[in-house]
Every structure is written in structure tokens, then in C-alpha cells.
């Protein structure tokens, strides 16, 4: 048992409580250093302490959806693993009151040598369900996972998406009182991810307590009641989800601005001109095409060229797409699809549609296209951009490369209410007034 750790078992309205919880890992410069330390009975120190969490305190009420945001390496997954009982904290007290179902690291809790069916029953047994109880649940679990006959094959033969499908299906069908969801859902395809999000909303409406870790600030704002922002293992902010996300995004924009300023000083001849090649693809849900060209990167910027961390209504944005021809392209077409949080194709465009046809490209040539868009007032939700490069005409073309949901941004609330999905630019003109007739 790690020193300073205790578990509090109190029945209350609090589902999860962390009180000054810290977690450290021993980092050794070389494998042999661990043996040296053991040989001295730990009298000599051959390791450095890495603190994944430092003095973290918060409470999660029953029925609340509590989200965790932060950069990679800030301690989000460690926090959930402690909550699930996978890890013990180095110090501090924790309280978890209720049946916990966890969707943590990809494939965690599954034996790769066992079949999917065997793993379903194994996970049920760990949670205290008998085989008879799991028999009643199995058909629903298999139907939701939609992996077909693979349910009878060893998990080691599954793709990452199939593992997520089965793991999520098990987690939601074991009557959890507390559901822990890490970033694993990001691995799934758009169709299954939307089904998962609808199920999370359903569990939320039924009063299930949810701890949700995600890099999608749109999902956090849509789902979360409250959130905590972790920065290098410490709590930077805690409160209403919208407010915490705004603080986090503001810090990320500031960090990116400092990086760009430093990069500009280090490379004084570099600039953000349209011919600059974008080389970042933040996310790939699904990718397809004949391979004769490839998307190199996508970004969304403001009119001045600064990268955006969120979208604002009634502003001009620049969607920058860079691509490279891998074979000769006679009539290249570059474009993108704009989708809402439900995966519905909201709008789309391309160079040919906008009257800006691209010249033929030889293999190896690179190109960057900037799409200048005037955004209307849209419903505050998460929107994604799916870039594509094709060859041909609007009527007859072949997709060379398409990336589903390569970049997602949250639409900030507009000044006034949005009735429906967006607000038409509108001018009111009253042509006549009806008054009470004079007798």
C-alpha cells in the first residue's frame, strides 16, 4: 500500500471525491539503475520522481457529468485510472461510491488471447455479475458493438476500432453508476462515435455519474456540467464546463502565439503567406482515395493569419489546405466538407465550384489553397472540416485523398439566440401598420 493513501467509504450525495491526491512515478535513466537501488535497500537514490498529479482535489456529485481537459501528459488518464482503481495514489484520499464501468486505454481489461465473447463474460464477472446475468445482457452487447462473427475470435485479431466498439458496449450494458470515459472514443469511426455520444447523453439523462476525458472541447461543452483543467498535474481551473473550456482555449491560443513569435524570430524569412505548406493533420477518423495525391495538412485561421482555437459567428475565417501530387493530375480539385457535431454534412465547397480551377500538377508538386469564408451566426456546437483532393470535373471525378473530420472547432455562442441551426442575415422593413379604426 502506498504511503499516505487511504480510501474513505462514506455514503453521500458525492459519487467521487479526490482530496489532495498526488501520484508520482520513478524514472530511471537506465534499466540497471533499478537493480542498483534495490541492492542498496533504497538507501541510495538512482531515480527521479515524475509527478503525474500534484495535490488534486475535487468532488463529483451523483448524476453529474464531470469533464477533464488539458494537454497531453497533464495527468488526465492517471486521474481516471486512480478513480477506476487501476492505480493507487502516492498520497491523498479518494472516495468512489458506486459501481464503476471504465473505458480507459485501448483494450484495457481485455485479454488478447480470449475471444470477444469470453472477454465480455470476464468483465462481467469482475463487476460481480453471474454467467446467467451476462447471458441476458450478451445479445444487447453484441448488437451494439456490431462486430459480427469477430465476437467469437481472439481480441488480438481485432482492429483498434473493433476493440473500442466492444469495450464501450460492455461498459454501458453493465448498469454502471459511475462511467469513466477516456480518449478511447476518438479511435472509433464517425458512425460509431455518434452512436456512443447519443448513448452517453442517454446515460446522463438517467442520472449516471460520468467522468469524461476528451480533447474535443465541443463534446465537453455539450456534455459537461462542470470541468477541471489540469496543467502538468496541477489544477489550473475548476467550475462550469463552458468557463473552464474558455480559459483552457485562451491559454492554448496564447501558447501557440508565443510559439509562432519564437519561430518567426528563429526563421525570419518564414511567413504565413498563402503559399506556405500546412503540415499538420490534427485528427484522422477515416481516410480513403486512390492515392494519386495526399493531403499534407489543414488549419483554420482568422483574417490576419493566426490559427483559431474556436469559431465565432459573423466573422471571416481562412481554411488552409495543403496537398501533394503523387502522380500527374490533369484537373486537380481541392475542397472540404463542413460537418456539425452529429456528423451531418452542413456545407462544402471546392476550388472548381468557386471558380478557381487549379492548373495541372506533376508528381511531387505541392500546393496550398486558402478558402476565405464569411461565417454566419451558427448554433454553438462542434464543427469539423474534412479536406479532400480529387482529379476531374464536378460531374466526373476521382477522389485521390479524403480525410474525415481532420480538424474540429467549437462554435462560440453568438450575441443573440439561434433558432434552428443558423441565423439568416435579415433586414426588417415594416410596410404598413394596422390601427384601431376611428368610429
Query: In the structure, what pLDDT confidence band is assigned to residue 336 with cuts at 50, 70 and 90?
Result: very high
Q: Which of 371, 373, 375, 372 is nearest to 421 (CA)?
A: 375
Verify that 299 and 351 share a domain, yes or no: yes
In a domain, 265, yes or no: no
Residue 321, domain CATH: 2.70.50.60
**What DSSP character marks residue 155?**
G
Whether 189 is in a domain gets the answer: yes
Look at residue 17 in the predicted model and tell me its pLDDT.
Answer: 92
DSSP string, 88-140: --SEEEEEE-S-EEEE-STTTT--TTSBHHHHHHHHHHHTT--HHHHHHHHHH
Residues 227 and 302 in one domain: no
Is the pLDDT at 1 greater than 70, yes or no? no
- The answer to whether the beta carbons of residues 167 and 146 sit under 8 Å apart is no
Least confident of 207-211, 292-296, 387-391: 207-211
The answer to which of 18-27, 181-190, 287-296, 423-432 has the lowest mean pLDDT is 181-190
> Is residue 313 pLDDT above 50, yes or no?
yes
Percent of the chain with pLDDT over 90: 25
Does any domain span residue 178? yes
What Cα–Cα distance (Å) separates residue 266 from each residue in 122, 259, 263? 55, 10, 5
pLDDT tens digit sequence for 345-377: 888 999 998 888 899 999 999 999 999 998 888
Burial class (CB in 10 A: 0-12, 13-18, 19+), 38: exposed
pLDDT at 55 over 90: yes
- Residues 293, 198, single domain; the answer is no
- The number of distinct structural domains making up the chain is 2
**pLDDT, position 274:** 44
Average pLDDT over residues 408-430: 79
Query: In this structure, is residue 410 part of a structural domain?
Result: yes
106 and 31, same structural domain? yes
Specify the pLDDT at position 185.
61
Closest CA to 143 of 125, 170, 122: 170
The pLDDT value recorded for residue 12 is: 63
Q: What is the mean pLDDT of residues 366-392?
A: 90
Q: Which domain holds residue 158?
A: 5-247
- 216-239 mean pLDDT: 86
The average pLDDT across 251-259 equals: 67
Q: Are residues 45 and 133 in the same domain?
A: yes
Does 267 fall in a domain?
Answer: no
Q: Are residues 220 and 297 in the same domain?
A: no
Q: Which three cell numbers stand for residue 350?
A: 471546392
pTM score over 0.75: no
Q: Does residue 330 share a domain with residue 243? A: no
pLDDT digits (tens, 9 = 90+) for 279-291: 889 888 888 899 9
What's the whole-number mean pLDDT along residues 80-108? 82
Average pLDDT, the chain: 82
pLDDT at 319: 94
Query: In the prediction, which pLDDT does 6 show?
Result: 46
On whether both 352 and 213 belong to a single domain, the answer is no
Residue 138 cell numbers, joined: 450478451
Same domain, 410 and 312: yes
* In the predicted structure, residue 263 carries a pLDDT above the cut 90: no
Query: Is 229 inside a domain boundary?
Result: yes
Q: Which of 271, 267, 274, 238 is nearest to 356 (CA)?
A: 274
> How confident is the model over 41-63, as a mean pLDDT?
84
Mean pLDDT of 183-211: 76
Region 44-66: mean pLDDT is 87
The candidate with the shortest Cα–Cα distance to 66, out of 54, 53, 51, 83, is 83
- For cell 537514490, name the residue: 45
pLDDT number for residue 108: 59
Residues 241 and 301 in one domain: no
Is 266 within a domain?
A: no
Mean pLDDT for 338-345 is: 82
Looking at residue 295, its pLDDT comes to 95
Amino acid at each position: 500500500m502506498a504511503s499516505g493513501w487511504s480510501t474513505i467509504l462514506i455514503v453521500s450525495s458525492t459519487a467521487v471525491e479526490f482530496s489532495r491526491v498526488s501520484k508520482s512515478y520513478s524514472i530511471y535513466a537506465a534499466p540497471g539503475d533499478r537493480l542498483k537501488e534495490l541492492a542498496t535497500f533504497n538507501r541510495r537514490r538512482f531515480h527521479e520522481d515524475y509527478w503525474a498529479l500534484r495535490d488534486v482535489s475535487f468532488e463529483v456529485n451523483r448524476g453529474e457529468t464531470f469533464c477533464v481537459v488539458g494537454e497531453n501528459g497533464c495527468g488526465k488518464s492517471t486521474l481516471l485510472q486512480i478513480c477506476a482503481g487501476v492505480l493507487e495514489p502516492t498520497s491523498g484520499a479518494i472516495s468512489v461510491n458506486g459501481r464503476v464501468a471504465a473505458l480507459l486505454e485501448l483494450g484495457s481489461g481485455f485479454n488478447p488471447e480470449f475471444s470477444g465473447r469470453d472477454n465480455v463474460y470476464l468483465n462481467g464477472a469482475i463487476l460481480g455479475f453471474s454467467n446467467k446475468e451476462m447471458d441476458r445482457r450478451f445479445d444487447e452487447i453484441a448488437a451494439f458493438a456490431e462486430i459480427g462473427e469477430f465476437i467469437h475470435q481472439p481480441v488480438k485479431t481485432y482492429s483498434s476500432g473493433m476493440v473500442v466498439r466492444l469495450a464501450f458496449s460492455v461498459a454501458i450494458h453493465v448498469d454502471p453508476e459511475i462511467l469513466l470515459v477516456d480518449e478511447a472514443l476518438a479511435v472509433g469511426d464517425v458512425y460509431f462515435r455518434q452512436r456512443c455520444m447519443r448513448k452517453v447523453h442517454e446515460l446522463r439523462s438517467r442520472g449516471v455519474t460520468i467522468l469524461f476525458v476528451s480533447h474535443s472541447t465541443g463534446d465537453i461543452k455539450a456534455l459537461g456540467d462542470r470541468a477541471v483543467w489540469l496543467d502538468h498535474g496541477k489544477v489550473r481551473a475548476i467550475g462550469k464546463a463552458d468557463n473552464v473550456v474558455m480559459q483552457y482555449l485562451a491559454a492554448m491560443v496564447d501558447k501557440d502565439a508565443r510559439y509562432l513569435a519564437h519561430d518567426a524570430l528563429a526563421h525570419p524569412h518564414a511567413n504565413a503567406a498563402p503559399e506556405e505548406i500546412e503540415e499538420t493533420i490534427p485528427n484522422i477518423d477515416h481516410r480513403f482515395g486512390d492515392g494519386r495525391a495526399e493531403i499534407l495538412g489543414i488549419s483554420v485561421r482568422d483574417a490576419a493569419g493566426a490559427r483559431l482555437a474556436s469559431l465565432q459567428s459573423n466573422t471571416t475565417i481562412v481554411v488552409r489546405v495543403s496537398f501533394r501530387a503523387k502522380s500527374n493530375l490533369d484537373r486537380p480539385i481541392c475542397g472540404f466538407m463542413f460537418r456539425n457535431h452529429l456528423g451531418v454534412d452542413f456545407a462544402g465547397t471546392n476550388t472548381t465550384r468557386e471558380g478557381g480551377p487549379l492548373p495541372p500538377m506533376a508528381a511531387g508538386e505541392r500546393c496550398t489553397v486558402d478558402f476565405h469564408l464569411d461565417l454566419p451566426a451558427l448554433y454553438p456546437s462542434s464543427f469539423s472540416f474534412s479536406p479532400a483532393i480529387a482529379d476531374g470535373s464536378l460531374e466526373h471525378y476521382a477522389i485521390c485523398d479524403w480525410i474525415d473530420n481532420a480538424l474540429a472547432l467549437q462554435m462560440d455562442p453568438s450575441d443573440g439566440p439561434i433558432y434552428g441551426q443558423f441565423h439568416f442575415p435579415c433586414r426588417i422593413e415594416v410596410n404598413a401598420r394596422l390601427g384601431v379604426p376611428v368610429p
